[in-house]
Amino acid sequence: MRACSTRYGLFMSRFIVTAFGPDSYGIVARVTSALAELNCNLADSTMSNLSGHFAMMLVVDGEVDEKSIFHSVQSKCAELNLVVDVKQIDPAASPTLDGDRYVLSVYGTDRPGIVAGICEVLAAHNANIFDLTTRVTESDLLQIYTMIMEIALAEGEDPQLLEMALRAKAELLGVSCSLRAVDSEEL
């Protein structure tokens, strides 16, 4: 596969690189330096500490192959006990699920089913999830669940109907939620 993009007149391929493992100092520095040494460009990324484990997903462009990226990242991070995977992707095969952007915030006492219930409503209203972050925090005797999402609502979908459906589902789940439009410059 070629023709992902061109940079400096070279044909680039696009890859998704994932790495996760016990959190430690320097993971991001080591992974990104391994990519930089291969002259790969970091196009998109998400990284997070998840209950003491660090997880990252990166989209990179480069004039290399999967094995070269894998071996470079593995060698730089050998003692960090990371699980690394690299896959070449075709950017032309990815559908564009864009639309008006919103931020959805959900708060309440932690319990199973919150993410599933809210995401079912989003799917029924053709909302695409661009980012989803959850955290559980201790507050006195309660565990408070917080979920923040960046979503895009498909053209033709009514944000007021979505908000009404979300509030109804949130009430059933015993949580509160709010939906607000986001100006593209905020993102």
pLDDT digits (tens, 9 = 90+) for 43-74: 999 999 999 999 999 999 999 999 999 999 99
Residues 125 and 89 placed together within one structural domain of the fold = no
Name, in order, each residue with C-beta under 8 angstroms of 184's C-beta and a sequence gap of 6 or more. 101
pLDDT above 60 for 10: no
DSSP 3-state assignment of 114? Answer: helix
Residues 119 and 147 placed together within one structural domain of the fold = yes
The residue length of the chain stands at: 187
Residues 38 and 112 placed together within one structural domain of the fold = no
Question: Degrees (nearest 5) of the Cα angle 45, 51, 56?
Answer: 15
Residues 142 and 68 placed together within one structural domain of the fold = no
Q: Where does a domain end: 75, 93, 111?
A: 93
Q: With CA atoms as reference, report the closest residue to 96 among 46, 148, 152.
A: 152
Residue 30, domain CATH: 3.30.70.260
In a domain, 187, yes or no: no
DSSP 3-state assignment of 159? Answer: helix
Residues 112 and 72 placed together within one structural domain of the fold = no
Digit-coded pLDDT (tens) for 149-158: 999 999 999 9
Tell me the C-alpha distance between 132 and 136, whole Å: 14
In a domain, 186, yes or no: no
Residue 41: give the domain boundaries: 5-93
pTM of whole model > 0.85? no
Residues 46 and 81 placed together within one structural domain of the fold = yes
Predicted pLDDT at 129: 95
Predicted pLDDT at 186: 55
Predicted pLDDT at 8: 47
Q: Where does a domain end: 93, 122, 155?
A: 93
Tell me the C-alpha distance between 126 and 95, whole Å: 14
**Which percentage of the chain shows pLDDT scores above 70?**
91
DSSP string, 50-103: ETTEEEEEEEEEESS-HHHHHHHHHHHTGGGT-EEEEEEE-GGGS-----EEEE
Torsions phi, psi for 182 (to 5 deg): -120, 130
Residue 94 vs residue 70, higher pLDDT:
70
pLDDT above 70 for 6: no
Residue 119 vs residue 6, higher pLDDT:
119
In a domain, 20, yes or no: yes
- DSSP run (H or E) holding 179: strand 175-181
pLDDT above 60 for 2: no
Predicted pLDDT at 50: 92
Residues 9 and 83 placed together within one structural domain of the fold = yes
Predicted pLDDT at 65: 95
Residues 46 and 69 placed together within one structural domain of the fold = yes
Tell me the C-alpha distance between 77 and 79, whole Å: 6
Digit-coded pLDDT (tens) for 18-46: 999 999 999 999 999 999 999 999 999 99
Domains contained in the chain, number: 2
